[in-house]
């Protein structure tokens, strides 16, 4: 493990305890608000530092909110989505970096059309890894969160995001990898986020029906492939963050081209969300510190000042 940089001072929270740094790596603007946003808002409020990295500009995203289907928006989707991302980052209180790759879109049809030339999903793995390593070495996160090997769902950009995140976790601390991208820094924990498990959907569906309310999830559950494993079985870490669900929702709404405020994102009353599923859920896949499973904190095991941990 790379020795600590003696010129670097790790942040301290107001109560004198060490602050840690969390990096979340996402494919498109709006992913940071739909996956783990309440967790990031919680950690920011507690005095930790959080950086969101967005791999692409979302240039090929469709307009999913009818209210934003306007000529001036269609004329500059990249610019609009950058402005939406800036507003969401402000709401969450996070730092933000673009990696600068181009959205692959989500080709559909039979036969499936090819991905567009020059898109993120077709980019060289080394190029994407080097770009992310540079940001890791700049921000020096103790914990990185990304998607699982299926991308959370099999969007080509999400899968590529997973691939470069895992590669960067391993490479960032190696002084022989990617020279010229900053001083080596080894993150200590790597997580996959698991926000859309079947168990979670079922819990909300049943809670709504039990209260005599309409559920928007009946069709989704009816069409759930019987052979699809439930990601809930992989969860190791449940972070309680229901106090920050309102912040998450405001960040989601900031992505007005992508989020319809009348959609199922906001169908479940806040009190039911807090009662039925007050956590955001993760899978610990790599750790260089001791931490007992199950966890309730992404920083579990990071009980010493960060440079002491790094020197270990």
Of the pLDDT bands very low, low, confident and very high (cuts 50, 70, 90), residue 4 is very low
Tens-place pLDDT, residues 43-54: 999 999 999 999
Q: Residue 35 pLDDT more than 90? A: yes
Rounded CA-CA distance 69/81 in Å is: 13
pLDDT at residue number 188: 97
Of the pLDDT bands very low, low, confident and very high (cuts 50, 70, 90), residue 152 is confident
Give burial (CB, 10 Å; 0-12/13-18/19+) of 250.
middle
**Pair 54, 101: CB distance under 8 Å:** no
pLDDT at residue number 10: 62
Rounded CA-CA distance 89/94 in Å is: 5
Q: Residue 226 pLDDT more than 60? A: yes
Q: Residue 9 pLDDT more than 60? A: no
Rounded CA-CA distance 264/118 in Å is: 34
CA distances 184 to 49, 59, 135, Å, are 19, 32, 11
* Side-chain half-sphere exposure of 47, counting CA atoms within 13 A: 10
Q: Residue 58 pLDDT more than 60? A: yes
Q: Residue 57 pLDDT more than 90? A: yes
Residues annotated within the binding site are: 28, 31, 158
Residue 18 DSSP one-character state: B
Strand partners, 238: 281
Residues annotated within the binding site for Zn(2+) are: 28, 31, 158
Tokens 């790379």, residue? 2
Rounded CA-CA distance 163/165 in Å is: 5
> Between 233 and 1, where is the model more confident?
233
Rounded CA-CA distance 148/168 in Å is: 14
pLDDT at residue number 42: 98
Other CB atoms within a 10 A radius of the CB of residue 243 amount to: 13
Domains defined along the chain, listed by start = 21-195+232-311 (3.40.50.10320)
Of the pLDDT bands very low, low, confident and very high (cuts 50, 70, 90), residue 263 is confident
**Pair 251, 37: CB distance under 8 Å:** yes
What would you report as the CA-atom Rg of the chain, rounded to the nearest whole angstrom? Answer: 20
Report the pLDDT averaged over residues 287-303: 94
**Closest alpha carbon to 42 in 27, 25, 26, 20:** 20
Tens-place pLDDT, residues 119-129: 999 999 999 99
């Amino acid at each position: 493990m790379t020795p600590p940089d003696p010129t670097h001072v790790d942040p301290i929270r107001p109560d004198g305890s060490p602050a840690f740094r969390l990096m979340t790596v996402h494919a498109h603007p709006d992913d940071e608000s739909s996956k783990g946003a309440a967790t990031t808002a919680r950690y920011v409020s507690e005095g930790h530092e959080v950086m969101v990295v967005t791999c692409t500009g979302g240039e090929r995203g469709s307009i999913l909110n009818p209210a934003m289907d306007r000529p001036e928006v269609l004329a500059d989707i990249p610019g609009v989505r950058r402005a939406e991302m800036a507003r969401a980052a402000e709401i969450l209180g996070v730092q933000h970096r673009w990696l600068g790759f181009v959205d692959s879109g989500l080709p559909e049809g039979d036969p499936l059309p090819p991905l567009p030339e020059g898109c993120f999903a077709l980019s060289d793995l080394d190029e994407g890894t080097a770009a992310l390593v540079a940001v890791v070495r700049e921000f020096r996160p103790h914990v990185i969160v990304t998607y699982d090997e299926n991308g959370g769902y099999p969007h080509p950009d999400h899968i590529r995001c997973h691939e470069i995140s895992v590669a960067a976790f391993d490479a960032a601390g190696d002084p022989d990898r990617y020279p010229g991208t900053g001083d080596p820094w080894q993150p200590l924990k790597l997580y996959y986020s698991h926000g859309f498990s079947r168990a979670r959907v079922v819990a909300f569906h049943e809670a709504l029906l039990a209260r005599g309310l309409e559920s928007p999830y009946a069709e989704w559950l009816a069409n759930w492939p019987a052979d699809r494993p439930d990601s809930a079985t992989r969860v190791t870490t449940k972070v309680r963050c229901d106090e920050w669900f309102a912040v998450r929702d405001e960040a989601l709404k900031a992505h007005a081209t992508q989020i319809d405020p009348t959609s199922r994102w906001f169908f479940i009353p806040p009190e039911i969300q807090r009662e039925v599923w007050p956590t955001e859920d993760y899978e610990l896949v790599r750790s260089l510190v001791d931490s007992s499973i199950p966890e309730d904190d992404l920083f579990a095991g990071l009980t010493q000042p960060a440079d002491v941990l790094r020197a270990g």
